[in-house]
Amino acid sequence: MNARSVRGAVAVAATLCALAGVAACNVQSDSDTAADPSGSASSAPQAKDLKVGWSTIYLTPSWMQQTLKMLQADVDKLKSSGKVSAFETFNANGDTSQQIAQIRAMIQQKYDVILVDAGSSTALNPALEQAVAAGITVVAFDSLPTSTKVIRVGTDQKAWGAMMATWLAKKLDGKGSVIAMNGPAGVAVSEDRWSGAEAVFKKYPDIKIVSNVHSEYNLAPAAQAFASAYSAHSDIDGVFSQGGALSAAALQTLVKQDKKLVPITGENYNGFLKLWQTKQKEGFSSIATAQPNYLSVIALEAAIAKREGASVPQDITVPLPEITDDNLAQYAKPDQPDDSYPIGDISQSEIDKLIGK
Amino acid sequence: MRERALAAARGNTDLLALAVLLLVLLIAYQHYDSSLLTPASITILSAQFLPLILAAAGQTTVMLTGGIDLSLGAVLALAMAVFATYDAQGAGGVITAAVLALLVAVGAGAVNGTLVAYAGLPPIVVTLAASFLWGGVTLVVLPQPGGTVPGGLVDAYNNGWNGVALPAVAVAVVLVGWKLLRTTRHGLALYAVGGNEHGAYASGLHTRGVKISGYALAGVFTGLAGIGLAVQTGSADPTIGAPYTLNSIAAAVLGGISFFGGVGRMRGTVLGALVIGLLTNLLLFTGISPFYQLVAQGVILVVALALKTYLTREAAV
Amino acid sequence: MALLSVEKVSKSFAGNRVLADVSFEVGRGEVLALVGENGAGKSTVLSLITGLLTPDSGRVVFDGAPVARAWSPHRARAAGIGSVHQELSLNPHQSVAENVFLGSWPSRRGLVRARDLAARAEPLLARVGLDVDPRTPAGRLPLGRQQLVELAKALAGDPRLLILDEATSALDEDQVAAVFRVVRELREQGGAAIFVSHRMAELFAISDRLTVLKDGAVTATRAREDTDHDDVVRLMVGRELSDLFPPKAPPPSGEDSPEPLLRVRGLTVPRACSGIDLDLVPGRITGLGGLQGQGQREVLRALFGLARHAGDLALDGRPVRLASPRDAIRHRIAYVPEDRKIEGVHTVRSVRDNLVLPSMRQLAPARRLTTVSRGEEAALVEELIGRLRVKAASPAQEVRRLSGGNQQKVALAKWLPTGPRVLLLAEPTRGIDIGTKREIYHLLRRLADDGLAVLVTSGDTMELVGLCDEVAVLYEGTVVDRLGGPELTEERLVRASVMGTTSDADGTGSVVRA
C-alpha cells in the first residue's frame, strides 16, 4: 500500500466517520419522523398526524427557551390527541440566509405546518410564499414577516411603544427631559416600537428626548450605553425604554449611583420586575408590558384550526398585557432568575376567540 | 490521455479531495431528498448558494493579495440596500439599480484597498474598522428592512427563467471570467503581489495599485452577492450581511486559498462554498437537534480542513 | 561617456549615515566589482540605482540623463537596468515563466497565454544555463536554480546595465560559470555590469575594475591588473588575509583513531541522499562539500530530526533515534540552519529573546513556578553577546536590524548555554562580510577545541579547505570522496565535486559508491 492510497483511505474513512457522527446525533434527537402519508392530505376536516416545524432566528435567549417550552407542551397535548405526529425546531443562529434554507428544506420535506419567528421582516417572504404555494400552512409569530400570504400572530409593536410613551408622558405631566433606550438600529421591532412612541411624544412638545440610545437587548451593553448617556444628561426626569433588559440596565445604574429613581418604562423581564418591586416603596414607579410566550401556542393552534377548515384571520393581534404598580405582584417572581419572562398561560377560550373558532 | 488525467489529478489533490467530499454530501443529500437532481431543486439550491459563492469569490480575491476582508458582510448589505432602495421600474431600472449597487461596492472595496495600501496598516485592522463604517452607511441608506425588487425578477431567479437556473449561470460566468482574468496581466499581478510583495515591487510592479484594484475587484463580487441576495429575498435588510464575512472566509480556506496570499484557485472556493452550503442544508434534513447541528457543522469543517492539509502536505515538500 | 555615474550620493537612515559622498562610474562594455564588508553600504548604493531608495543628496546619472526624483523599480527596469539581489524576489507560487516576466507579462489581446509565456521564457532560461520546465512553480526549484531564474528575469527586461548583488552566493561553480557567460555577452554587446560578491576569486575572474567601499565611503577604485586579493582585503578591512582561518587540529596520531561522538552509518533521506557514513569526533570540524544541492542540507536536517530518515545513528556508542528536533536537543545536538531568517532566528524579536529561547528551562525552573529570572537572563545575554562579540545597540534591539553576520552570531550563540556536544551548521558564513567570517571561523575552532564535534556544509570551497579538518564530498546524495590533512586542497575538492569520483593521484578516477 503506497502513501497515496493510504492517504486516500484515510480521507474516505474520516468522511465516513464524520457522517456516522451525524447519524449518531440523529438518534439523540427526539423526532419520530415516520409520518403517515395520509396526514399530509390538505384541509382534511379533522387534522391528523401533522408534521410541524418551527424555524427561529435564535434559540438561545431565555425568552426563546420559554417559548419553546410552552410550544412543546402544546405539541405534546396535540400529539396525544393524534393531531400532530412530528415536531422539529430549527435554529438559524442569527443567520437569515440559513433561515431561508431551513424553510426551503421544510418545503422539500413536505411539512404540513411551518411556524416561523423571522430574522428579517422582508427577506423570508419569497421562501414563505413558496411554502404557501406548496400547500403548507405557514404561521409566523413574534417577529413577523411583511408577507400578506401567511398567517401572522403578533402584538402591535407600535402600540407597545405608544403604551409606554403615553404612560411616561402622563407621569411627567407632559414636560421634562427623557432618555430613550432603543434596540439595535435597523431592527424592525425596535424601529416599530420607537415610531409608536415618537408619535405620542409629538403630542407633548414639552417633553424633550435629550438622548436616543441604541443598544443590544442585553444587560451589559445596555448598562454601558445608558451610563454614558446618563453622565451627559444626569438631570433627566424619566426614561423611555422599549425592552426589559434595557429598563433593568437603566434602573440598576440609577440605584448603583444612588440617584433619584425617575420613572422608567419596562417589560416583563424578571430582573427588572424584581428590582421594581423592591424599589416600589422608595417611590419608583413603572409600567411594563410583555411579548407573551404564548404567541407560539396561538400560532400552532391557528395552524391546526386552519388545517381543520376554520376561517382563521390573516392577522391575529394579541393584546398586550399591562403590568402596573398595582398588579406587579402577580408577575414578579422573586424566586426565579433575572433572565426569565414571567407570564401566565392563556386560556383555550381566549385562544379560540383570537383565531376565530 | 490517461496519463494526462493522472497528472492533472496529482496537481489537484486538494481540489479532488474537496470534490469527493462534495460528492459524499450529495449522495447523503439524495438519500434524504430524492428530488435533488430535478431542475426545480437545482434552481432552488443554486439560488440559495449564489450569494455565499459570490461573497467567497470576493473574499478569495482579497486573500490572494495577502489580505483579508472583515468588512465583506457590511459591503454586501450596503450593495443590497442600494439595489433594493432604488425604485426599479422595468429592465432599464433594474440595470441602473444593479450598476449603482456595483459602483458603491467597488467604491467601498477601493477605499478598503487604498487604506491597506497607503496607510500601511494590516488588512485585518483596516477592514474591521471599515466594517463599522460600511455598516453605518448601510443604515443611513436603509434604516430598516425594506425596499423592493421587481416581482418578476425574484420569481425568475428563485424558480427558474424558461427552465434555466439563472444563479447556476451566474456561477459559470464568474468561473469563466476568473479564468480569463488569471491570464491577463492584472490577474498575474494579483497573484504576484500576494506571493511575494517585496519581490513584485522590486520587479517594477505598482504593488499599491495592484492591491487597490484587487480590493475593488472583490467589491464587484461582493456587490454581485448583495444583488443576488436582494433578488433572492425580494428586498433588503441592513443587518443580513454579517454572517457572510466569516462564512466567506471559511469557504475560501476550505477551497485552498492561503491566508498568506498568492495561493489558490477560484474553483476551489466555489467547491468550498458549495460544501458549506450543502452541509448546512443536509444537517437540516437529518433532524438533529439544533444545537447539535452547530456542533456537527464545526466538526465536519475541522475534519475537512485537517484532511486537506494532510493530503497536500507531502506534495508541498 | 560612462553608462552610469553615481555622483556624490549620501543617504541616512534615522540619522545614521550609511553613505557619504559616494561616487563611481561604470563605462559601456565594463564590469565593475563593488567590494566591501557587510554594512559598508553596497546594497544601499545599489538600491539608489535600482530605484528602491532615493538619495538624500547627490545624483545618479544613467545614459547621460539624471534619474528623476520619482525613480522607481518600474522606471529603472524600463530604462534598461536589470538587477538580481541576494534576497529572492520570485513568487514561489507562480511558474518559472510567469516569474521571468514578472510585472511585464507579454500579452496578446490582453490575454497572457501560458504556452506563449513558456516559449518566450525558454531562450532566456537557456541563456542562463537553466534546463527546467518553465511551467514548474518557482518555489519547487532549489535555491541555486531560483537564483538563475532571477537572472533570467533580469535579462527579460533587455537591460543595458546588469546589477548582480550577491547573485552567486547560492550557486555552484557551473552555475557561476553560466552567470559569467551572461555577463561577458552583455559586455561584448556594449552593456555594463555591477558585480557584488563575497567570493574574492569571482570578483577577480569577472571584473575590469574594483571599487572598494568602507563604512559608506569609497576607499579606492583599482583596475584589476593593478591589484590582488590581499590588497583588496586590506582596503576593505585594513587587515591581512593570512589570519582568516585559525590553525587546524593536530591530525589523529597513528593507529588509535579517536572515538567518534556521533557515528552515522547508512543515513538515507528519501530523494536527497543515501548510504551516508560519517564519524563526528570531538575536537574536530568535519565539512560536507560538493556542488550545490547534492544532499548536504538534508544530512544536517536529518541529524537534527527535521527530515525523515533511515539508517543507524549512535551517540557515545549507544543507538539513538532522532525523530524530531526535541530528540536532537535532548541529546545536545544543536543546529544553525542555512536560512537563518526562517529557522535560525526570530527576526522581529529582540536579541535577548532570541538568545534565551533554548535556555528557558534553566532560566525558568519549576521552583520559580516557571517564571523567568530576569537577573540570570540578563547575565546570560551579556555573557553571550560578549563572548561572540555580537554588535547590537542593546539586547533589546530587534534581530532584523542587525547585519547578516551578527544575525548569524545570534543564531549560533543561542545554543551555547545548552551545552551542545554536536554542532551542525549549514552555510555558516553565507552573505557575511569577511571580518565577521573570520570571527566565526575562530569561534568554531574554539568550540571544537572545547570538545564539540562540528559538522559544516558550505558552497565555498576556500572555506571548507581553510576551516575543516576533514571534508566528505557529496555527489548526487552519496559520499564520493573524503579529504583530510595534506589531501585537502581546493583543487582536489573541486575535482571530486565536479567529477563525482575520488581524486586519485593518477587522475584516472574511480567511483567510490555506485
Interchain pair B202, C83: CB under 8 A = yes
| Nearest chain A Cα distance for residue B187, angstroms | 31
CB atoms within 10 A of CB C2: 16
Q: Quick one: cell of C8?
A: 556624490
Question: Bigger pLDDT: A181 or B167?
Answer: A181
Q: What is the largest CA-CA distance in chain B?
A: 59
Which among C74, C85, C98 has the least Cβ separation from residue B204? Answer: C74
Closest residue of chain C to B183, computed from CA coordinates: C112
Q: Are C91 and B200 in contact (CB under 8 A)?
A: yes
SS3 assignment, position C339: coil
Q: Is B31 part of any domain?
A: no
Q: Which part of chain C is CATH 3.40.50.300?
A: 4-237, 243-332+420-514
pLDDT at B312: 62
Chains that touch C (3 or more CB pairs under 8 A): B
B156 pLDDT higher than 70: yes
What are the chain B neighbours of A132 within 8 Å (beta carbons)?
none
Interchain pair C92, B195: CB under 8 A = yes
* Interface residue of B63, B186, B196, B260 to substitute, partner C, most C CBs within 10 Å: B196
Helices then strands, each counted (H, E), chain C: 17, 20
Question: What sign does the CA torsion over B166, A91, B151, A42 have?
Answer: positive
Q: Is B267 on the interface with C (CB under 8 A)?
A: no
pTM attached to this predicted model = 0.72
Q: Which domain holds residue B61?
A: 40-311
Total number of domains in chain B: 1
Distance CA(A83)–CA(B119), nearest Å, equals 65
Q: Is B255 part of any domain?
A: yes
Pairing relationship of beta strands A207-214 and A238-241 according to DSSP bridges:
unpaired
Q: Is B22 part of any domain?
A: no
Question: What sign does the CA torsion over C315, C321, C322, C327 have?
Answer: negative
Distance CA(C214)–CA(A65), nearest Å, equals 77
Closest residue of chain A to B313, computed from CA coordinates: A7
Distance CA(C245)–CA(B96), nearest Å, equals 77
Among the ranges given (B163-172, B187-196, B209-218, B301-310), the one the predictor scored with the smallest mean pLDDT: B301-310
Q: Is B236 part of any domain?
A: yes
Q: Is B13 part of any domain?
A: no
* Interface residue of C43, C81, C89, C117 to substitute, partner B, most B CBs within 10 Å: C89
| Nearest chain B Cα distance for residue C359, angstroms | 30
Q: Which residues pair with C164 in a beta bridge?
A: C84, C195
What are the chain A neighbours of B309 within 8 Å (beta carbons)?
none
Distance CA(B215)–CA(B202), nearest Å, equals 22
Q: Is C74 on the interface with B (CB under 8 A)?
A: yes
Distance CA(A55)–CA(A140), nearest Å, equals 10
Q: Where are the alpha helices (DSSP H) in C280-403?
A: 296-303, 325-330, 351-356, 360-363, 374-388
Q: Quick one: cell of C45?
A: 548604493
Q: Which helix (H) or strand (E) holds B28?
A: helix B13-32
* Neighbouring C-alpha atoms within 13 Å toward the C-beta of C237: 18
pLDDT at A182: 94
- Choosing among 3.60.21.10, 3.40.50.1220, 3.40.50.300, 3.40.50.1980, the CATH entry for C4-237 is 3.40.50.300
- Nearest alpha-carbon partner for C427 in C306, C333, C339: C339
Q: Are B52 and B78 in contact (CB under 8 A)?
A: no
Q: Is B87 part of any domain?
A: yes
For residues A268-290, average pLDDT: 93
Cβ partners under 8 Å of residue C170, min gap 6: C143, C144, C146, C147, C292, C430, C459
Q: Are C53 and C230 in contact (CB under 8 A)?
A: no
The CATH number of the structural domain formed by C243-332+420-514 is 3.40.50.300
pLDDT at C240: 52
Question: Bigger pLDDT: A244 or B107?
Answer: B107
Question: Bigger pLDDT: B298 or B291?
Answer: B298
- Nearest alpha-carbon partner for B54 in B168, B133, B134, B141: B168
Q: What are phi and psi of A176, to 5 degrees?
A: 140, 170
- Name the CA dihedral angle for A297, A303, A304, A306, rounded to a multiple of 10 degrees: 140
Across C444-502, the runs of DSSP E, i.e. the strands, are 453-457, 470-475, 478-484
Angle between helices A96-108 and B266-286 (to 10 degrees): 60
Q: Is B25 part of any domain?
A: no
Q: Are A209 and A178 in contact (CB under 8 A)?
A: yes
Question: Bigger pLDDT: B35 or B230?
Answer: B230
Q: Quick one: cell of A83?
A: 393531531
Portion of chain A with pLDDT greater than 70, in percent = 87
Chains that touch B (3 or more CB pairs under 8 A): A, C
A104 pLDDT higher than 60: yes
Distance CA(C436)–CA(C429), nearest Å, equals 8
Interchain pair B203, C103: CB under 8 A = yes
* Interface residue of C52, C91, C342 to substitute, partner B, most B CBs within 10 Å: C91
Q: Are C469 and C258 in contact (CB under 8 A)?
A: no
- Nearest alpha-carbon partner for C432 in C412, C455, C452, C453: C412
ipTM higher than the 0.85 cut? no
- In tens digits, chain C (514 residues) has pLDDT values of 789 999 999 998 766 678 999 999 999 999 999 988 766 788 889 999 998 888 999 999 998 888 877 788 888 988 999 999 877 788 888 899 999 998 788 888 878 888 888 999 999 999 999 999 999 998 888 888 999 999 999 999 899 999 998 888 778 888 999 999 999 999 999 999 999 887 778 889 999 999 998 878 898 999 999 988 778 877 876 555 567 888 888 776 655 567 889 999 999 998 888 999 999 999 999 999 987 778 899 999 999 998 899 999 999 989 999 998 888 988 999 999 887 777 778 877 888 888 888 887 777 777 777 777 788 888 889 989 988 888 888 888 888 888 778 888 898 898 888 889 999 999 888 777 777 888 899 999 999 999 999 999 987 778 898 899 999 999 888 999 999 888 888 778 877 876 666 644 443 333 333 3
Q: Is B44 on the interface with A (CB under 8 A)?
A: yes
Domains and CATH numbers, chain A: 42-155+291-319 (3.40.50.2300), 157-289 (3.40.50.2300)
SS3 assignment, position A165: helix
Q: What are phi and psi of A169, to 5 degrees?
A: -60, -40
Across chain B, the runs of DSSP E, i.e. the strands, are none
What is the DSSP track for C100-150? HTTT----BTTB--HHHHHHHHHHHHHHTT----TTSBGGGS-HHHHHHHH
Q: Quick one: cell of A65?
A: 427557551
CB < 8 Å from B in window 105-124 of A: 105-106, 108-109, 119-124
Digit-coded pLDDT (tens) for A141-152: 999 999 999 999
CB < 8 Å from B in window 20-79 of A: 21-23, 25-26, 28-31, 33, 59
Q: Is C189 on the interface with B (CB under 8 A)?
A: no
Closest residue of chain A to B148, computed from CA coordinates: A122
* CATH code of the domain in which B123 resides: 1.10.3470
Q: Which residues pair with A152 in a beta bridge?
A: A140, A315
CB < 8 Å from B in window 123-162 of A: 123-126, 130, 146
- Nearest alpha-carbon partner for B181 in B60, B69, B70, B84: B60
What are the chain B neighbours of C77 within 8 Å (beta carbons)?
203-204
SS3 assignment, position C90: coil
- Nearest alpha-carbon partner for A103 in A75, A126, A121, A71: A126
For residues A311-327, average pLDDT: 93
Q: What's CA C402's distance to the chain center, in Å?
A: 16
